[in-house]
Amino acid sequence: MPITFDAPSKDKAELETGTAFTPRFDESGLVTAVVTDAKDGELLMVAHMNAQSLALTIETGIAHYWSRSRNALWKKGETSGNLQTVVELRTDCDQDAVWLKVSVAGHDATCHTGRRSCFYRTVSNGPDGAVLTITGGEPQFDPAAVYSKN
């Protein structure tokens, strides 16, 4: 039977310290998902989940998200082979975000640009405003080759 989620409690203490997992989906039906690498804690990506993708993630142990750009269920790594196996799943105090510690298969890369993490640029304050510096390493795969298979 697929996992379903009860409506969040209106009681703040119950929401914050209870044992019922009652995600607070936003007006678009989504919670924020933060994804780190279980092996060293590196932040890999930030994505979103609806009830369906969250249930599938819990049931299968493989990370599923909701793609806001494609408006579709998204089994991360289905095309690239970089599937994410969930080592641990947590939620936050008010249950509107989840944290996935994952093990990444395939190229050990999560970003669609081919890099290990989506967070490969540092922001700094320059004389003309905030600027970016690429600090996150080289792509681990060639996106043009990997995604052109579709």
Binding-site positions for Mg(2+) read 92, 94, 96
Q: Which amino acid is at 131?
A: V
- Candidates 39, 72, 79, 93; binder of its own copies (CB under 8 A) is 93
72 touching its own copies, by CB under 8 A? no
14 touching its own copies, by CB under 8 A? no
Residue 42 Ramachandran class (φ > 0 left, ψ -120 to 50 alpha, else beta): beta
Given the complex with its own copies, which of 78 and 122 has the nearer CB atom?
122
Given the complex with its own copies, which of 52 and 91 has the nearer CB atom?
91
85 touching its own copies, by CB under 8 A? no
Q: How far apart are CB 144 and its own copies at their closest, in Å?
A: 12
Cβ atoms of 98 and 34 closer than 8 Å: yes
Token pair belonging to 148: 């052109």
Q: How far apart are CB 81 and its own copies at their closest, in Å?
A: 19
H-helix or E-strand spanning residue 32? strand 31-37
CB atoms within 10 A of CB 84: 27
90 touching its own copies, by CB under 8 A? yes
Which residue reads 């995600």 in tokens? 23
Q: How far apart are CB 121 and its own copies at their closest, in Å?
A: 6
CA distance 104 to 110: 8
Q: Considering CB under 8 A, how many residues would be counted as binding its own copies?
A: 50
CA distance 59 to 3: 7
Interacting residues with its own copies (CB under 8 A): 3-5, 16-21, 32, 34, 36, 40-43, 45-46, 58-59, 88-94, 97-99, 111-113, 115, 118-125, 129-136
